[in-house]
A and B are shown apart, each in its own frame.
Chain A
Amino acid sequence: MREAATLQDALRDGRVFAGGRAARTHEGLPSGNGAFDDALPWGGFPRGALTEVLIAADGLGELSLLAPALARLMCRERIVLVAPPYIPYAPALVRAGWPLARLAWIDAPPERAPWVAEQCLRAGCLGAALVWTTGGDERALRRLQVAAEDGGSFGFAFRPARHAANPSPAALRLLVDADAAGAIRLRVLKCRGAQPPSTAFAPARTH
């Protein structure tokens, strides 16, 4: 173990060129949507922080929004889905480019879901933990945010859009809903360290 630690120390040294990979400190995870990434201070989703995704309904492309970013993350790290509202459908996940071997689906009762997500984020062995919760408990979110900081993982919490008006400790808050014409809108409600962009983004929808 000691050898591994010293190797990591060496790699952290700025003078070591790590084969084309950018230095990974607190960089963001680009979402693939250029305009959206540019508007965020991290250039994407923030690592070691909680991103809250408020959704007006299921099936608005809320997971597809993260899919390219997570697919890239899963080249090297494992992610977990905690208490998803439906069955994560393997053929669609494969189509989205997710290696199934690096994905775990954790089935937990709704009241346990925040606790499970907290454990997953704090453990630090996972790239990201995505949790679906309906509760409006702000303390649970704060615990998730702290756990994501401790573990240095990406935390994503999906909650109903009705919580948009309540304050949240998440570093990044997104709202996904549809306008009157049925077109999907993605709005940034809060992004820590910067003014949230006032315009809405139109996420590209492949499927």
Chain B
Amino acid sequence: MARAVTQKRKLIATLAAWTIGMAIFFPILWTIITSFKTEAEAIADPPSLFWFDWTLENYNVVNERSNYPLHFMNSVIISLGSTLLGLIIAVPAAWSMAFVPGKRTKDVLMWMLSTKMLPPVGVLIPIYLISRDLGVLDSRLALVVILTLINLPIIVWMLYTYFKEIPGEILEAARMDGATLKSEILYVLTPMAVPGIASTVLLNIILAWNEAFWTLNLTAAKSAPLTAFIASYSSPEGLFYAKLSAASTMAIAPILIMGWFSQKQLVRGLTFGAVK
């Protein structure tokens, strides 16, 4: 028997939830709105929510003046690159752990997880010095490699939990029918694994895009992604609220949209399967 829900109760819940939801979302909304103001309007007293002359001026200024496209491309390359590289390494590992589990599989999984618990600042100095000595400080390559390694445990774990849900009998049936290992992976496993892989990719792009410890410490002008570029606004000159807002809006928009699509998988990925 479904619980009878009075209309009044539903209305109250709606009102409360929308109010709180809007309050939580407001800083983002305010940033987006401010990005369409002129600098003078952005600090006008009293501030206006909608009734001002909307302008795209800031987006032009940001795009032209500050190498914004370069930093945007850095973000794209670093997050896509590290996700792809991670996937190439993690898919075989997760596949074998899910379908050919050995005595030590659980230990290996737990150990991989434990590497994620290492606080980054504990290894900041060696990584900094190694990058300096290899001449890859402020290079995209270094960040791709580091972010791959940082997120590798999450990629392996997420794929593992998804692969585990694929019934092993299907693989055995394929094997009985004489499928080789290669065709087994290519034609049987892959089609069933695509949804899980897709959510893993999505979550990892988000994590890599927003990563702000290594990107801030290991980059300067050349390879800085958006996280580091935006940080340069912390010691600004003159009026900059509208430009900051425009730069921020462009930095968070792609990830916000991807994030909304991946919110269900997020829980599984971020809790390592402890909450589903």
Mutual binders A and B: no
